[in-house]
A and B are shown apart, each in its own frame.
Chain A
Amino acid sequence: MSSPAVELLDIHKSFSRVKANDGVNLAVARGEIHALVGENGAGKSTLMKILYGLYAPDRGEIRIDGKPARFRGPADALRAGLGMVHQHFMLVRPFTVVENMLLGREGVPPVLPMDRVAASREIRDLSGRYALDVEPGAVVEDLPVGVQQRAEILRVLLHGASILIFDEPTAVLTPQEATDFFRVLGGLRDQGKTILLITHKLDEVMQVADRVTVMRAGRVVGERAVRDTSPAELARLMVGRDVALGRVEGEAPAGAPVLEVRSLGVRDSRRIARVNSVSFQVRAGEIVGIAGVEGNGQTELVEAIAGLREVEAGTIHMDGRDVTGSRVAQRQRSGLVHVPEDRQRRGLVLEMSLAENLLLGRQRESEFSGRVLLRAEPILRMARRLSEEFDVRPRDVSLKTRDFSGGNQQKIVVARELGRAPRLIVASQPTRGVDIGAIEFIHARLREARDQGVAVLLVSADLREVMSLSDRILVMYGGRVVGEVPGRDAREDRLGTLMLGGAA
């Protein structure tokens, strides 16, 4: 048998207080799609960054085609035929596709003009061969995300990569774009490329991968041929126990309306109308889901309800009181909590500790604050209790939130918001980029809140999330609510049609 295309032997890597890789072994055969799965913080991304030369391992060996390799940086990895398609694209957004392709190309005189025509031709050849349709002269930031990803893949191929690493490639794609992407992936394998796919979406693994390696807490806990395994087995390996993500109906009928939105109109920062005469209610003890392709007004709707964006027309009532013009703090005192869609931008202060982030918004409460100074002890007690309750890992309340994995950052935001005894939860993409164990956990907490009589407004681009949680589903398209479907008999195809502006 020939040696594997990529082999990682006994890789160790620690960060200040976290052991990210603890004796990891991984072998990928040439010409296969090999998935690497694990929860957030299991050490997948660290491992790939080591393979790509971005991190130096504390210990361990990398072999490419059986030969030991030492990468001092990405340039070395590129030379060895490795190419990485990053989760956050490594494309310079104001540059054209061609300029991005030319960047980092070696062996050219630095101050002589670049040959864009030849480069464009090269791009067209390559995009024809791999069915990666991209216009070379287009500016990257004007392209849809799916096309940007194709450009990123093209660049990796252009640099002559034979081993391609994909880091959570579908995290930013719409379902349609994801389908196209899987077709591209299959095509790359059929042309002899070796593919390493990092993901935590098990249905993707089952759909496209040949083999799968599962990581948990910095170690490899299993390796399987995809045809010999099942999503249930992989989930069990990833999380360490059985996982259930099914639908659970509410215990009690919904009560009085908590949130009432009437003929709401909202404009975005460029003064373009994003929400047009939207009206709905969310009652105590029900989860109302808003489905829709992103960019159809959901962001602006949520911001208006949370008090972050000015309302152009219409009213917002909470418990019968008009809060249309109220400040954020006033709304929060009436029991509104908000899990924002972008946890790093709106949800957390990354440079502050876990405890400080959990305190945010409650710093005026007498429990935590004296006349002048904050009270350290009660704050730490609260932080320890919440991080225990919401299973934030590592359990270190003084660690900066920047140093937590994405999934744990999300748990921190959810812990802070749900830990405040809310009347109304506005949760926007509450499980985006979060692993299966944390999804199950966050879903359970939202259901629990509902069963205790809290009103929940859920906005998610993940249709299955909306379908498994919601008692009622509203579909938004072009800034309007175009349909309402009871959660228990919602069907994906029907919602999909509504989301694309079709009649139900």
Chain B
Amino acid sequence: MIAPFLSQVLRISVPYLFAALGGTFSERGGTINIALEGILLTSAFAAAVTTYFTHDPWLGLAAAVLAGLLTALLHAVICVTFRADQIVSGIAINLLAAGLTKFLLKEIFGSSSNSPRVEGLPEWHLAGVGGIPVLGDILRSPLLLLAAIGVPVGHFLLYRTPFGLRLRACGEHPEAADALGVSVTRIRYTGILISGAVTALGGAWLALDQHSFTDGMSGGRGYIALAAMIVGKWSPLGAAGGCLLFGAAETLQIRLQGGAVPTQFIQMIPYLLTMVVLAGFIGRAAAPRMSGVPYRKEE
């Protein structure tokens, strides 16, 4: 009973984990990234299309990362180079991603709802560990394994390396970083691009796990991931905790369907939980001080 539940929580959490980890890298460097939603969508689409035509899900994964990088690059150019409002840029990108994928879906596959079935990534069957709950699940799926490795690696990168130090400095006190010869522009670009590439892994999971691309399949996961990042106080380990919490709520919601309570109420659980947790946390959570503020060198 508990093992299948945990297994499902893990699988549901994968896109959250990648997107929240990505968001952390962008925001720690000082750029709010609500374009996570759009990045999930473009990368899922790229994964499905590429896999469909090449029959190679690994190439699909690579294409997803490329699409994520390009979408993030757009956000970086708008926010860092042109210092536009980061929220407006994010919303614009999300709308663009929704429209563009819908349009291309129709152009390429002649459908307004979904792509044809594509292959997924292989499942590994390792002797001896396959039956162990959680660990077995993680070792079975390449992307789940990557998420499990990515979170601690991201944490290490952020808190233990010169790059992480510079990134966090750019989000807290960009003038100080600049005065020490750190290029705020370059570091912020790097943070946003990492954000794009990592989030794209979550997008690839969406398409490859479901074996097709569905219109609007990101379904607000980018925003939930942002909430998880805030609950986790902008740290990779904390954000992962938030993701698993929301993943658990969603799993519960799925499992409770068909009971006495009307489905519509059950479906509200993850979102209500998000609001309750955020309302409790957001006042105390310490955002990077200069996140959302474009940096001007000479004032």
Contact = CB atoms under 8 A, between A and B. Distances in A.
Contacts of B286: 94
A90 B163 contact: no
Given A73-B181, A92-B168, A95-B168, A102 B176 contact: no
B176 A92 contact: yes
Interface in B136-181: 156-157, 160-163, 165-166, 168-169, 172-173, 175-181
B266 interface: no
A177 B172 CA distance: 27
Given A55-B298, A90-B176, A92-B176, A114 B165 contact: yes
Contacts of A159: 180
A75 B186 CA distance: 15
A102 B168 contact: no
Interface in A104-124: 104-106, 108-114
Contact of A93 (B165, B172, B177, B178): B172
B78 interface: no
A407 B192 CA distance: 40
B190 to A, nearest CB: 9
A481 interface: no
B6 interface: no
A109 B176 CA distance: 21
Contacts of A89: 176
B176 A74 contact: no
Contacts of A90: 173, 175-176, 179-180
Interface string B87-104: 000000000000000000
A279 to B, nearest CB: 35
A111 B163 contact: yes
B182 interface: yes
A103 B179 contact: no
B165 A74 contact: no
B165 A99 contact: yes
B160 A93 contact: no
Contacts of A103: 165-166, 169, 176-177, 180, 182
A93 B289 CA distance: 10
A93 B173 contact: yes
A476 interface: no
Contacts of B165: 95, 99, 102-103, 114
Contact of A114 (B162, B175, B177, B180): B162
Contacts of A99: 165
Contacts of A171: none
A54 B297 CA distance: 8
A33 interface: no
A74 B163 contact: no
A165 to B, nearest CB: 12
Query: Which of B161, B163, B181 has the most chain A CB atoms closer than 10 A to its own CB?
Result: B181
Nearest to A55: B298
Interface string B286-298: 1001000000001
A90 B172 CA distance: 11
Nearest to A77: B181
Interface string A60-91: 00000000000001110010000010100111
A92 B181 contact: no
A108 B177 CA distance: 16
Contact of B180 (A55, A94, A104, A108): A104
Contact of A92 (B160, B162, B163, B173): B173
A105 B173 contact: no
A90 B286 CA distance: 20
Nearest to A91: B176
Which range contains the number of A residues in contact with the other chain? 20 to 34
A112 B165 CA distance: 12
A111 B161 contact: yes
Contacts of A102: 162, 165
Contacts of B180: 74-75, 78, 90, 103-104, 159
B199 to A, nearest CB: 20
A104 B182 contact: yes
A94 B182 CA distance: 18
B179 A86 contact: yes
A86 B173 CA distance: 13
Contacts of A74: 178-181
A84 B179 contact: yes
Contacts of B163: 110-111
A474 B162 CA distance: 51
A105 B162 contact: yes
B169 A92 contact: yes
Interface string A388-408: 000000000000000000000
Contacts of B173: 90-93
A92 B182 contact: no
Nearest to B178: A74
A108 B166 CA distance: 12
Contact of B181 (A75, A86, A93, A109): A75
A95 B169 contact: yes
A460 B64 CA distance: 61
A308 B289 CA distance: 25
A321 to B, nearest CB: 37
A114 B165 CA distance: 9
Nearest to A52: B179
Contact of B161 (A73, A94, A113): A113
Contacts of A86: 179
A278 B251 CA distance: 59
Interface string B35-63: 00000000000000000000000000000
Nearest to A106: B181
A78 B168 contact: no
A78 B160 contact: no
Interface string A110-141: 11111000000000000000000000000000
Contacts of A78: 180-181
7 contacts: A54-B298, A74-B180, A93-B172, A103-B169, A104-B166, A110-B163, A111-B162
Please give me the 7 A-B residue pairs with the lowest Cβ-Cβ distance, nearest first: A104-B180, A75-B181, A90-B176, A110-B163, A90-B179, A92-B173, A92-B172
Given A90-B176, A92-B169, 15 more contacts: A55-B298, A75-B180, A78-B180, A90-B175, A92-B168, A92-B177, A94-B172, A95-B169, A102-B162, A103-B180, A104-B166, A104-B180, A104-B181, A104-B182, A111-B161
